[in-house]
Structure 1
């Protein structure tokens, strides 16, 4: 108080601002969070009884549920009202770095150059094409800014052009539940045809006759993609032919056309097993033939070229996968021959086939590599990449007969580039480099590095870091640690213009490449799933401890973030080591693991058994229950928390985070912040427009910066 008096003598204006802040703080102390009513619901399995006091929140059609979610939103808005101006300035700052009138690098396909672009003031892309030459007249295929008008959410997906270039199928989702309606547009006249196919995945495939379309529908309850239909252009959908039904509820279905254009392929996939069926695109009415029947634990993918198929597979215990080859008329596995053998330390991720070259995407020691292999066997080589915090990947390569490989490259400090590389003479042309507007960005102002933390079982875990040069590593730096750690999804080091808003305010950003991903190969994934899932959580905690020990940060300044399965990670971590973190952001978090995995009516549940285990088996039930965030909340201090969800989320149902927050409110023993922010219009991916999505990022950043006392 004495300090405030002294300050007021110097500046009445400053005192007035301080008094306003103090008044806001006192007002916030009087704002009470909503308390969800308790209605005990008994859940029993394997003679084990769990009481869920908030099970009633599962009903989105219940007005009381909507009222509770709105009350939580109101509480969040009131408690963060003092950051609203900051959120707006952060949004404007992030938006100012983005080139509004931007477009993709055109690619040539079947006689047309295809382009996607954004225009100034537009929140959605415009898809266009030019016939034969980039100097030709532009044809607008889809202007999503027009299509999105009067919709709170809009997503266009699965644009597929017929072989004669006359028609295009496209899918639209207006709810953000990833359920699409497919329609057909005549690209010559602009007419939308009467064909209207509902409840689809969004994608579709044309046969070579220009009138047959294949598409995949979803189960209306579980949202599992399970049926493949054949549709004849201009006919009623009631006449569509069921081509294949996937009856195993642990599998989902997809369909595509091979790059060679000769085959249409149906894929059935579970976490551990795959199966493909093929039919010639010239004969769409023929029956699909199984490529290699499903065998538990056998994973494979196929690519057609000339008279052969190339198979990426884990056959013969090839944990990190190998490449095999088989004649197109003898596709069962006894005919497969090794082309690139299995390697213990190198994960084979993907291939791209050209007339004279095979391009292989590999992951070695956590880093992506592009390997160029001429078919004539002469002089294979790798593209040179020197950084340890980068990612490289093949881009749009639709042409067989070319020496040009199009690939992408970026790092934590290097904006994304699209590069055309001549595989014959090894020259390259940067077709596009991401622009960072505003004139303030210089990659040389930032430091990027990779360090290795030691997990509790002795395993070395890579951590990628980026921060502004010149900061002092004395433990006082705010640090945001991010991870995912599930489904074998590797956390590559990508550039972010929005992240600059944290880095330029003194934050360090860290990606923990924990087990459960495939960052260090397939065994890295296997060691973080099923009955080894807890390695994912302890790896993250051990990375946090290492960052603290090395003076990158301290518990007072360490923050953690994860979304979806990464939200599960956040939930487990705050139960196990809440004292390490000042704040946590959990986006669309999967936190009620046991209840969800026992409910086969919930979308995507049965297909997850190979990832988490089937809780109908007692050993998996007990293990899940031992880490499930919702089941393991105890009376203890928890970090400041921002939890986000979407009412229409099809991946993680909104009630999981809602129940989690309700239970946390009753058991956390401190006064730290706990917010639930529910987007009542969208689902798993959040807002659909590119700038609307920035507003959600601004919310997250303002939460972190406010906790650090950074106000501008």
Structure 2
């Protein structure tokens, strides 16, 4: 239940109702509610241009575990209801009116972001077989184009012959153009792209509506046509066999759960060409397929968020069948790779048969491929056993992620380095020579640290003089070093003590020149779910806030990624309150330590991260001044009670199963929609939803807005706006230009409600 501290000020004013116990705690008497409305503590200094929309209320009773309560906005979950569509349009109109006075500011922010972009964007080519593959965004276009060229590495007379033969024909081959698809359908989301081992076919999955119902398309790269007779709907993952014409793929059920592995052979006109290979009938698990890096095996993985069962298929002999590598054990995961006759397995399986678990710690083991079974794992492999190399990082703030590295036998390993103050760097490490070279670094133009930067952009030469160059720790390098912006923007890591004494990592970013201790506005990012790492990589758009004196912070709360899997488990399920308290503690730290003014803290979250922020706002509505919630998961209890919705059953491991009474009460007490506090002053909130979202229903944001306007302080809730895309899906698949437009809109909202427009 709610903490004693939270309830001490309101205990005597609580009115008993027929609501569940946790909802009783926040049901304030009407006299107390009117007191809040009369003496509104809101610092919003503006009035809404028009009255917010008022949706209809339809009686609907929700019951679970002997408790019943009313949900008058349940009707919104019927997205075919014309009243609901009309309501969303009314909210869009209200948002437009609310943001009308920021249009000039939006244009300014958009111009800044566009001017930082290079006119052309491309990735360095990567060799696979005889081809060099790369992507680029043409000048003036929104989306990338996937291309390839024939590698020209002949010598002497052979090189001349190749040059002559390839002239005009092998200049550049366009494999897939996202722009053409977007122009044709108005939306494009390419899920997976896989080139066949013989480089003849491109298999890819395409969503043109935003609902993530991907369609498999196969393009014959020699004839440059899409094979219409091999089109399959509901496909997620892909893997080629080594013959170049046998393709494995996964199919989704009606709840968007990948549950079946199928196989097709190109060139076959048989009606039975799509052959089922594996079916997972348990709705708690999803099926994924992938190829090992050396291409010799295809792994079939039946996964939940905490356990896995793995099967393998010989990619050189796909007709030989499917073999199980490991049987599912609760809480145990396996990830397989293959090299030189051995399977290498990253797992948290117990090291000894008498152990029940491995305390969540992962290790690397291996077994011979011809003796296939997880019980044949050798003991834990040590780093020294692998002749490991250590890649030099320019700073401890850097993250490192692998490139695609298609050529498994190459001695060159490509990685991407990034940090909040280092534009993304692509680096090739040659393991045979123990040397590395900086292949490419993201270009960023018009960077400056002056408060009146809109009129005084520094020249490119001035910017270069400001960039720092890092040494390479003794490793050979063909580049003079990596360039970063740490002379302009300070990035530091702190540890914040949470409610139970746990130290929570907090990354803080701000301009060295423009930050004012105790006076600066700030934006705190949070997520805290699925064991996912909060994205702190380089983002040039942030400069539009940093150069206005803002602080940007990232709270790595429990429930997200940590040093080991216990960081995730201690913030999920029955322990979700920990992640919420972690986030609140980080917000208070930023204020108490003078990073952010006490009335200038805003927050932002996406999808499941909105659960975290929504619950934190209910617990401490006066802590935050503004919030941005994108495709927000807010109606948590009702969603988890509805097993007909996509992903519901799969999310039981993450958020709890409300069919279990103890889980139900835990979910209900923190569910953002069910705990909006009557009469309280809530922050200004921008909610962004998508009508075709198959992961988080568009109604979740709409219901939350309707309820907060109904029960919270009416003055403050007029600064809550809902903007719904009537055509998009869960993921922002807009191009680079539309992304800048959306970010400019969000930043303009923050600058407006925090009254820091300059």
Same fold (TM over 0.5): yes
Residue in 2 that maps onto 1:702: 748
Distance 1:547 1:91, change over 3 A: same
Q: Is the 8 A contact 1:195 1:233 kept in 2?
A: no
Write the distance in 1 (CA, Å) between the matches of 2:271 and 2:665.
46
How much has 1:696 moved relative to structure 2?
1.3
How much has 1:169 moved relative to structure 2?
1.3
Write the distance in 1 (CA, Å) between the matches of 2:276 and 2:411.
41
Residue in 2 that maps onto 1:338: 379
Deviations 1:254-283 (A, max 9, x none): 111111211112111101110111111122
- The range that moved more, 274-283 or 428-437, is 274-283
Residue in 1 that maps onto 2:542: 499
How much has 1:238 moved relative to structure 2?
6.0
How much has 1:571 moved relative to structure 2?
0.7
Deviations 1:368-422 (A, max 9, x none): xxx8x674x4xx4432335342211222222233332211111111101000122
1:36-435 equivalences under 5 Å are 36-133=55-152, 137-220=171-254, 222-234=255-267, 235=269, 239-316=273-350, 317-318=357-358, 319-340=360-381, 375=386, 377=387, 380-385=388-393, 387-435=395-443
Partner SS state of residue 309, structure 2: strand
Residue in 2 that maps onto 1:634: 677
Residue in 1 that maps onto 2:690: 646
Deviations 1:101-133 (A, max 9, x none): 111121111221110111101111110111223
Deviations 1:523-543 (A, max 9, x none): 111110111111000000001
Write the distance in 2 (CA, Å) between the matches of 1:458 and 1:48.
35
| Count of residues in Structure 1 that have an aligned counterpart in Structure 2 | 654
Write the distance in 2 (CA, Å) between the matches of 1:396 and 1:210.
19
Residue in 1 that maps onto 2:166: none
TM-score, length-normalised on structure 1? 0.89
How much has 1:588 moved relative to structure 2?
0.9
Q: Is the 8 A contact 2:49 2:98 kept in 1?
A: no
How much has 1:653 moved relative to structure 2?
1.0
Consecutive unaligned residues of structure 2, counting only runs of 5 or more, are 1-43, 154-162, 164-169, 351-356, 449-462, 467-484
Distance 1:608 1:156, change over 3 A: same
Partner SS state of residue 123, structure 1: coil
Partner SS state of residue 568, structure 1: helix
The answer to which structure, 1 or 2, has the higher relative contact order (CA under 8 A, 6+ apart) is: 2
Deviations 1:74-109 (A, max 9, x none): 000011111122212212211221123111121111
Write the distance in 2 (CA, Å) between the matches of 1:562 and 1:652.
14
Residue in 1 that maps onto 2:612: 569
How much has 1:30 moved relative to structure 2?
4.8
Write the distance in 2 (CA, Å) between the matches of 1:271 and 1:287.
27
1:683-702 equivalences under 5 Å are 683-702=729-748
Distance 1:599 1:133, change over 3 A: farther
1:534-613 equivalences under 5 Å are 534-613=577-656
Partner SS state of residue 696, structure 1: helix
How much has 1:159 moved relative to structure 2?
1.8
Distance 1:139 1:554, change over 3 A: same
Deviations 1:226-262 (A, max 9, x none): 1111112243666411111111101111111111211
User: How large is the Cα RMSD of the aligned pairs?
Assistant: 1.9
Write the distance in 2 (CA, Å) between the matches of 1:249 and 1:465.
41
Deviations 1:632-655 (A, max 9, x none): 112111111111110011111111
How much has 1:36 moved relative to structure 2?
1.1
Deviations 1:459-481 (A, max 9, x none): 11111111111345431100100
Write the distance in 2 (CA, Å) between the matches of 1:472 and 1:208.
57
Q: Is the 8 A contact 2:626 2:754 kept in 1?
A: no
How much has 1:27 moved relative to structure 2?
10
Write the distance in 1 (CA, Å) between the matches of 2:516 and 2:735.
38
Consecutive unaligned residues of structure 1, counting only runs of 5 or more, are 1-24, 342-370
TM-score, length-normalised on structure 2? 0.83
Q: Is the 8 A contact 2:236 2:252 kept in 1?
A: no
Write the distance in 2 (CA, Å) between the matches of 1:616 and 1:186.
49
Q: Is the 8 A contact 1:560 1:570 kept in 2?
A: yes
